[in-house]
């Protein structure tokens, strides 16, 4: 499939979204709720582009728009840039103290008049939904988007400590605005109102994961891990085994 983006032709695959094609070819389209490996969510709306097909021009969100042969795409028209600015403006009103969003606003030259800004607001979440997606992908489904409209938020059922949460922290890892609180202290990890005991590496003694995570992995893989190793120790172990095998060959 041939797609013309900003004047240049690119070849795309069937089923590919416009944003995937653009990213593959290093064409800059901003987005907040897109993560490679996840399907597009279409939430943040920042990845808007103009698509010209035949006689019609429409604005689409590129992360969920499946490419079609022969379309022409404009990623940076004045209209698109202005809309992106408005979206950043709206996010800035939501999270006036968030460093990431403030930086983004600065980059785009977005200024919110002080009479609209409530600097007392302590909000970091932009409801991009990546955390929920990550949790779903892991097969835990501990958090979800709850409520609707302006009261929408990400939470566990009834805001309680969730029995499904394994404390893996994938949600915090994918969050673009650092909105999820993950605290590690004294061999414990606190996330989503739940406290987990951290497991130490049997080799180096470093706390590296929760017991629930290790159980979850065993369950998913259908195995029983004998030795709990942190990332660097397990890498070292692989290296040692490889070296041993190599020496035997000689």
What are the DSSP calls for 116-145, one per residue?
A: T--TT---------HHHHHHHHTT----EE
Q: Given candidates 13, 25, 57, 59, which one binds other proteins under the rule CB under 8 A?
A: 59
User: How crowded is residue 170: how many other Cβ atoms within 10 Å of its Cβ?
Assistant: 19
Complex with other proteins: residue 171 or 198, whichever CB lies closer: 171
116 touches other proteins (CB under 8 A): yes
Q: Given candidates 119, 150, 249, 250, which one binds other proteins under the rule CB under 8 A?
A: 150
Q: Given candidates 27, 49, 87, 201, which one binds other proteins under the rule CB under 8 A?
A: 87
74 touches other proteins (CB under 8 A): no
Complex with other proteins: residue 14 or 224, whichever CB lies closer: 14
Beta-carbon contacts of residue 65 (< 8 Å; ≥ 6 apart)? 17, 18, 19, 51
Distances (CA, A) of 123 to 39, 91, 126, 153, 180: 26, 10, 8, 11, 11
Restricting to residues 152-211, name those near other proteins by CB under 8 A: 152
Which residue, 80, 60, 55, is CA-closest to 70? 55
Beta-carbon contacts of residue 226 (< 8 Å; ≥ 6 apart)? none
Q: Given candidates 5, 19, 27, 48, which one binds other proteins under the rule CB under 8 A?
A: 48
Q: Given candidates 21, 29, 45, 175, which one binds other proteins under the rule CB under 8 A?
A: 45
Complex with other proteins: residue 89 or 228, whichever CB lies closer: 89
Complex with other proteins: residue 110 or 213, whichever CB lies closer: 110
Complex with other proteins: residue 55 or 151, whichever CB lies closer: 151
**Minimum CB distance to other proteins, residue 135 (Å):** 14
151 touches other proteins (CB under 8 A): yes
Which residue, 155, 152, 127, is CA-closest to 141? 155
Residue with tokens 């004047």: 7
How far apart are alpha carbons 79 and 197 in whole angstroms?
Answer: 51
1 touches other proteins (CB under 8 A): no
Would you tell me which residues interact with other proteins (CB under 8 A)? 42-46, 48, 59-61, 64-66, 79, 82-83, 86-87, 90-91, 93-94, 115-116, 126-127, 129, 144-145, 147-152
């Amino acid at each position: 499939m041939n797609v013309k983006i900003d004047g240049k032709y690119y070849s795309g695959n069937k089923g590919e979204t416009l944003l995937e094609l653009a990213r593959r070819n290093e064409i800059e389209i901003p987005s907040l709720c897109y993560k490679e490996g996840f399907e597009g969510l279409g939430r943040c709306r920042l990845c808007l582009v103009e698509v010209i097909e035949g006689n019609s021009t429409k604005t689409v969100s590129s992360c969920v728009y499946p490419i079609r042969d022969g379309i022409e795409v404009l990623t940076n028209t004045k209209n698109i840039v202005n809309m992106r600015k408005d979206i950043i403006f709206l996010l800035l009103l939501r999270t006036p103290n968030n460093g990431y969003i403030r930086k983004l606003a600065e980059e785009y030259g977005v200024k919110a008049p002080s009479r609209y800004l409530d600097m007392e607001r302590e909000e970091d979440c932009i409801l991009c939904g990546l955390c929920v997606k990550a949790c779903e992908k892991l097969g835990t489904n501990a958090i979800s988007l709850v409520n609707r409209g302006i009261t929408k938020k990400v939470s566990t059922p009834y805001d309680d400590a969730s029995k499904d949460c394994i404390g893996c922290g994938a949600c915090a890892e994918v969050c673009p605005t650092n909105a999820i609180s993950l605290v590690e202290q004294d061999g414990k990890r606190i996330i989503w109102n739940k406290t987990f005991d951290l497991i130490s590496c049997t080799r180096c003694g470093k706390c590296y994961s929760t017991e629930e995570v290790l159980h979850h992995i065993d369950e998913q893989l259908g195995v029983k891990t004998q030795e709990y190793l942190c990332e660097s120790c397990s890498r070292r172990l692989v290296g040692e085994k490889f070296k041993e095998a190599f020496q035997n060959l000689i």
